[in-house]
Structure 1
Amino acid sequence: MISVPVIETARLRLTALTEKHFNDYASMLADPDSTRWIGDGQPLDRTNAWRSLAMLIGHWQLRGYGMWALELKDTGEFIGRVGLFHPEGWPDLELGWMLKPEHRHRGFATEAGNAVLDFAWNKLHAPRVISLVRIGNDASDRVAERLGGEHIEDMDFYGSDTHVFAYYPPHVEQRRAFA
């Protein structure tokens, strides 16, 4: 079994998703405002939230990386998920994030995203990471831009018009060489 590394930032702890996070995770995925920009845009019931959690946990085993639970460092409160995702059929290694509504617009996604990109560059030696952001999700567009994402194209991704932002390791001089 793979050990999920714990990453700490100034305000956050990125830690392994576990069953202890399930009630908060299921609540987040039951909220239409939280799910409108992912998957089919529909909220999930507890059964499908469990499947989602199990898939994200299994992704670590299959790929050696994945999504972390995002907790406030000072209280341990679960505030969302963040991490790397690359299931079968995905266009590239993706950086994704989702925060509970009451924790949005405080810089948490950017702070956590920077930590995840550092992990991608220094631990995985990834040549590129992308974020897939549905057109209209202006808040996530801004997060991707603050993380240094370059809007490289728009695509139809599972029936939704989607911005593709690309991130490159700091040492890469010719970004388009990886595109």
Structure 2
Amino acid sequence: MLRVPVTADFDAWADFCADPGQAAFLGGAMPREVAWRDFSMRTGMWLTRGFSMFSVIERATGAWVGRIGPWQPDGWPGTEVGWGVARAFAGQGYAFEAACAAMDYAVDVLGFTRVIHTIDPANTPSIRLAERLGSSNGGRVQLPPPLKSLAVDAWGQDAAAWKARRG
């Protein structure tokens, strides 16, 4: 299930942000206090932008799986659908299923004409997911501060390609 994040999601969100392996390509592991600011920023974007990352919830258990969805803070290099899944749920297909639903939402509801995924070139699992979604590497892009020093490529596709792909 995709839903707007709620305060009850924060403990799992903070654990995800603190995991050095999961946060390695997202700007690095964060202590709980910094994760709170990240959580608050992303939930606040629902008010200021009308969209942001969703919490991904496992239907059977109600467990918080990760955060996936549209993302475009000020200065971002494009309209993104990004993802991050907690270690316990990695490799089980949740990211692909949720990313497909988020792509549909970004294109059909938000009217994104192009969707990108900013990915570190060493992040092989995210590159594989982008390829499964039908995205291709558009080359290096610059993120705004405080992420300016991160090396990322903009994988992506236009809305027409996404619509044709999903049939």
From 120, 144, 150, the counterpart of 1:160: 150
Q: Secondary structure at the match of 1:170?
A: helix
| C-alpha distance in structure 1 between counterparts of 2:71 and 2:110, whole Å | 13
| Structure 1 runs not aligned, ≥5 long | 1-12, 174-179
| Structure 2 runs not aligned, ≥5 long | none
Map 1:1-179 → 2, pairs under 5 A: 13-39=1-27, 41=28, 43-157=29-143, 158-170=148-160
Q: Deviations over 1:74-118 (max 9, x none)?
A: 111101110111011101111111111121111111111100110
Q: Give the TM-score normalised by structure 1.
A: 0.84
The one-letter code sitting in structure 1 at the alignment partner of 2:151 is D
For the aligned residues, what is the CA RMSD?
A: 1.6
| C-alpha distance in structure 2 between counterparts of 1:82 and 1:65, whole Å | 11
Give % identity.
Answer: 31
Moved over 4 A (4+): none
Structure of greater Rg: 1
User: How many aligned positions are there?
Assistant: 159
The one-letter code sitting in structure 1 at the alignment partner of 2:156 is A
| C-alpha distance in structure 1 between counterparts of 2:142 and 2:71, whole Å | 18
The one-letter code sitting in structure 2 at the alignment partner of 1:103 is F
Displacement after TM superposition at 1:156 (Å): 4.7
Displacement after TM superposition at 1:154 (Å): 2.2
Displacement after TM superposition at 1:171 (Å): 6.1
| C-alpha distance in structure 1 between counterparts of 2:40 and 2:142, whole Å | 27
